[in-house]
Amino acid sequence: MPRKTVYRAEVEYFQILDEEGRLDTELAADTLSDGDVKALYEQMIVCREFDEQAFKLQRSGRMGTFPQNKGQEAMALGAARALRKGVDHIVPYYRENPAMFLHGLPMHYVLLHWMGDERGNAIPRNVEMNALCLAIGTQTLHAAGIAWAYKLRKEDRVVLCFFGDGSTSTGDFHEAMNFAATLKLPVIFCCINNGWAISVPCAKQTASETFAQKALAYGMPTVQVDGNDIFAMYKATREAWDRARAGGGPSFIEALTYRLGDHTTADDARRYRPAAELEAAVLRDPLPRTRKYLESRGLWDESQETKAQEKAKVLVHEVVQAALNIPKPSTDDIFDFVFEQIPESLAQQKKTMRTDSIGEDPTQIGLKPPTEPGMTEKPKAVSH
């Protein structure tokens, strides 16, 4: 039987706003207005300031380990801007603070999370997103499950799931991709390729030329995008969003960006990352790129930059104070947020704050301590 090609594919890459702030007007049509870009840039400034203050909180011992978001702001904001706030759902991992803030999460919740306060994970009911996910790749399954629920309920809602390139090496990722594609679920898988899975570079993590091509195995539309380009991220996400709402199923976006900081504050990237690579990445920082565009349009100047920086400092200071000065949680929370109906045994623990039987029910003590004959009370201590 003659041989024949049964499958052939290609992966598209696109950029709309280059490193010098030059815009491809044809590709940018029907994407972001100048007003949108200005507002998103101001949000980038706030998020960069938040990042720096969170770093200082960790270094001063007032917060636990923290993963900086520095360098990935455009990726998160561009994608999140394509969704409907309060309708579509975001499933983050732990470097999407800008997207979470844009969709209504109170900023101090992120600080509480990294301070070990579980109230940071109690996402308000009117905010459509999951809590931060630290387990690598597991959130892809959550996203598929939420999207499945939307489809079963015939709800016009879309899920956007963020994850790092390291997540594509996990079994959970592949199960989620297969499940979502087979059932044509309304979910967008956004892979943030920042060059490193902790200390493992992409070249040692996969033999694939791109992470985007992994979606082809599941029959899923895929694209590789300049993740530091807020226009490209918006456009790619919006196209995937349109496809999901039309019943076309899931899409995959590989966002090329860079982690300008260490993996976390417990890491020292200088031990494994070439200095020249970081220097080159700094030149692609999304904040200067977006600012150059606004300046070229006469929409931004040094005075506005100074005001925006000062405003961000005041806002983030208030956020930090809210996190540091929040009243201590009640011990009742340990019980109230575990069971819908608390079992009697735990209700007793909650009432007495004891787990030993005597502590929970002192009436069971039936014997007095033994005494010597004729002794009616314990001898008093003699002071010397």
Q: Where are the domains of the chain?
A: 18-324
Looking at residue 367, its pLDDT comes to 54
More confident residue, 139 or 375: 139
Place of tokens 């007495």: 352
284 labelled catalytic? no
Task: Read off the pLDDT of residues 334-356 as tens digits, 9 standing for 90 and up.
Answer: 888 888 899 988 898 898 888 87
90 φ/ψ angles, rounded to the nearest 5 degrees: -105, 130
pLDDT at 381 over 60: no
113 labelled catalytic? no
Take residue 114 and report the two structure tokens written for it.
């990294």
Residue tagged active-site, from 238, 259, 289, 291: 259
Compute the average pLDDT of residues 27-36.
97
Q: What share of the chain is helix, strand, coil (3-state, %, to 5)?
A: 45, 10, 45
Residue tagged active-site, from 272, 297, 317, 354: 272
Tell me the CATH class for 18-324: alpha beta
Residue tagged active-site, from 263, 273, 289, 291: 263
pLDDT at 126 over 80: yes
> Exposure string (b/e) for 273-290, b if CB count within 10 Å is 16 or more?
beeeebeebeebbbbebb
Looking at residue 177, its pLDDT comes to 98
384 labelled catalytic? no
pTM beyond 0.85:
yes
